[in-house]
Amino acid sequence: MSAVKQLKASARERVGKGAARAVRRQGRIPAVIYGLGEAPQPISLDFNETKRLIFAGGFLTTVFEIDVNGKKTRAIPRDYQLDPVKDMPLHVDFLRVTQDATVNVEVPVHFFNHEASPGLKRGGTLNVVRHTVELIVPVDAIPDSIDVDLTGREIGDSIHISAVKLPAGVKPVIQDRDFTIATLVAPSGLVAEEAEAAAAEAEEK
């Protein structure tokens, strides 16, 4: 679970494209905090710190306590924009949250115990269908990842969300079906060998 992180910000009086460009020229990133029935609050963030936080990973699943000129607001990033050419942050949207709130977040999927999978040992390939899963989670207990154990997995196995142990209070957004997270597929050489064997067996019959 990610801890609440502190983030310094400054209030912005002006909004709009021109004002946003002026903020960026000062080495800062325009942002906004919205939600909980309150008016949106335009803020600016330090460019270098924001860039570091975004590219460090887990930015959209981290709750921040944003200090705006001494007033602190708990919020979670909902979106950010990057320059399509320079890949630099341009804008960040934050959603205000209460301590007992639940939010929808995309959580990365991590796989472990590859060496304990007979299918992978035979040369099979792990075909990841979902690199992230959208979950409904308590805002104070957002998991860093969903961990999938590959122990005992054979070629042809499919790993569904029902096989994953989720933390208490956490559930997938998709609940009407047992969706697939990954499959173990045979290597192309093995597929060809099996096809040849099946053809030879058919001829013998």
Predicted confidence (pLDDT) per residue in 147-167, tens digit: 999 999 999 999 999 999 998
Domain boundaries, the chain: 5-97, 103-204
Model pLDDT, residue 134? 95
Query: For the domain 103-204, what is the CATH code?
Result: 2.170.120.20
Over residues 3-30, the mean pLDDT reads 88
Query: For the domain 5-97, what is the CATH code?
Result: 2.40.240.10
- The residue with tokens 């990133």 is 29
Q: Which residues are paired to 8 by β-bridges?
A: 67
pLDDT of 94 > 60? The answer is yes
Model pLDDT, residue 190? 58
Write out pLDDT tens, residues 122-144. Answer: 999 999 999 999 999 999 889 88
> Any alpha helices (H) in 38-113, and if so which ranges?
47-55
Over residues 174-200, the mean pLDDT reads 75
pLDDT of 204 > 60? The answer is no
Q: Give the Cα separation of 108 and 144 in Å (integer).
A: 7
Q: Give the Cα separation of 142 and 60 in Å (integer).
A: 10
Give the residue from 143, 63, 72, 150 showing the smallest Cα distance to 111: 150
